[in-house]
C-alpha cells in the first residue's frame, strides 16, 4: 500500500490521490443514506432479516450510486477526461448516453450485495456477542461508542475480504470495453478467469485498511445518532 502511494505521488503528483473525489463523496453519501436508512431490523429470525433487509437496502443504494461510481472510474482511469464531477457526467451523457451510467450496475450489485450483507450481519453478531458479556445498564456512552467502533472494524474487515474479488472485477469491467454482444455475466466470468485468485485479491491490504476504518467510523456515528435520538431496533446498544 505505501509503495503504491509513493509511486502515484512520484509519477503523477500528490494531487492525483484526490482525482475523482467529487463523485466519490456524492455517490457514497447517497449510497450510505439509502443503505443505513433502509436497513430495518426485527427480533424473530433476525439473521435472515438482516441479510434480506441489507440486500434490499443495498439495491436501492446502488441505483443512486452507480452513475457517480461510473463517473469516478472515468476520472481516475482518464485524469484528463474532465475537470470535475458535473463536466465529467455531461461528457459521458453526450458521448455514450444515459445508459453508460448503469453499464456497471450488475458488477456493483455482485460486489455490494455480499459486502453489505457481511457488513451488517457481522456487526450485529459481534456486538450482540459483546453485549452478552457485559452489563448494558452500566455501560457509559464512551463504552457504547467503543463497542460500535470495534464491531464495525471487524465487520469492515470481513466485508472487505468477501467482496474484494468482485471489487477488483468491477474496476476492470469499467476500464475496458466489452466485445460486441457480450453480456455482463460473461464479462464477469472472463475477467475473473484472467485474474485468478491471486489477481482478484490484489490491493487487499489497502482495502482492508480503508474499509475497516470507514466501517468502524460509520457504525460509531450511526450508533451515537441512534442513541441521541432515542431510536430503537436491532441490538439495544443505543438504549
Give whole-number Cα distances, 133 to 91, 125, 126, 188, 224, in Å: 55, 13, 11, 44, 21
Q: How many CB atoms lie within 10 A of CB 1?
A: 13
Predicted pLDDT of residue 184 = 63
**pLDDT surpasses 90 at 226:** no
Residue 192 neighbours by CB under 8 Å, 6+ apart: 165, 169, 200
**Phi, then psi, of 235 in degrees rounded to 5:** -65, 130
Are 201 and 165 in contact by the 8 Å Cβ rule? The answer is yes
Q: Among 84-93, 116-125, 186-195, whose mean pLDDT is lowest?
A: 186-195
| High-pLDDT (> 70) share of the chain, % | 87
- Give the pLDDT score at 233: 47
Segment 28-32 long-range contacts (CB within 8 Å, at least 24 positions apart): 28/65, 30/61, 30/64, 30/65, 30/68, 31/61, 31/62, 31/64, 31/65, 32/61, 32/218
pLDDT in the model for residue 217 = 94
Q: Do the Cβ atoms of 128 and 43 come closer than 8 Å?
A: no
| pLDDT of amino acid 239 | 39
Position 235 scores a pLDDT of: 45
| C-alpha to C-alpha distance for 16 and 191, rounded to whole angstroms | 27
Crossing angle of helices 105-131 and 184-200, rounded to 10°: 50
Residue among 202, 167, 179, 171 nearest 77 (CA): 171
pLDDT digits (tens, 9 = 90+) for 14-56: 887 777 788 778 877 887 777 776 654 545 567 887 888 888 8
Q: Please report the domains of the chain, with CATH numbers, ordered by start residue.
A: 2-238 (1.50.40.10)
Q: What is the pLDDT of residue 161?
A: 93
**116 with 57: CB under 8 angstroms?**
yes
For 154-183, the pLDDT digits (tens) are 999 999 998 888 788 777 766 666 666 666
Amino acid at each position: 500500500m505505501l509503495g503504491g502511494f509513493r509511486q502515484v505521488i512520484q509519477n503523477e503528483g500528490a494531487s492525483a490521490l484526490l482525482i475523482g473525489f467529487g463523485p466519490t463523496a456524492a455517490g457514497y453519501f447517497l449510497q450510505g443514506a439509502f443503505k443505513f436508512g433502509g436497513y430495518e431490523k426485527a427480533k424473530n429470525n433476525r439473521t435472515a432479516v438482516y441479510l434480506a433487509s441489507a440486500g434490499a437496502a443495498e439495491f436501492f443504494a446502488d441505483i443512486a450510486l452507480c452513475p457517480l461510481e461510473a463517473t469516478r472510474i472515468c476520472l481516475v482511469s482518464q485524469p484528463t477526461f474532465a475537470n470535475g464531477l458535473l463536466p465529467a457526467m455531461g461528457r459521458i451523457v453526450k458521448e455514450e448516453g444515459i445508459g453508460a451510467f448503469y453499464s456497471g450496475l450488475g458488477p456493483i450489485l455482485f460486489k455490494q450485495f455480499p459486502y453489505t450483507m457481511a457488513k451488517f450481519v457481522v456487526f450485529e453478531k459481534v456486538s450482540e456477542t459483546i453485549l452478552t458479556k457485559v452489563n448494558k445498564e452500566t455501560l457509559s456512552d464512551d463504552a457504547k461508542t467503543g463497542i460500535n467502533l470495534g464491531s464495525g472494524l471487524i465487520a469492515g474487515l470481513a466485508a472487505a475480504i468477501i467482496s474484494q474479488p468482485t471489487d477488483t472485477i468491477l474496476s476492470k469491467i469499467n476500464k475496458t470495453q466489452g466485445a460486441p454482444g457480450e453480456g455482463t455475466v460473461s464479462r464477469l466470468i472472463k475477467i475473473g478467469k484472467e485474474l485468478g485468485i491471486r489477481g482478484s485479491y490484489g490491493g487487499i491490504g489497502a482495502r482492508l485498511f480503508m474499509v475497516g476504518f470507514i466501517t468502524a467510523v460509520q457504525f460509531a456515528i450511526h450508533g451515537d445518532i441512534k442513541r441521541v435520538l432515542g431510536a430503537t431496533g436491532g441490538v439495544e446498544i443505543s438504549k
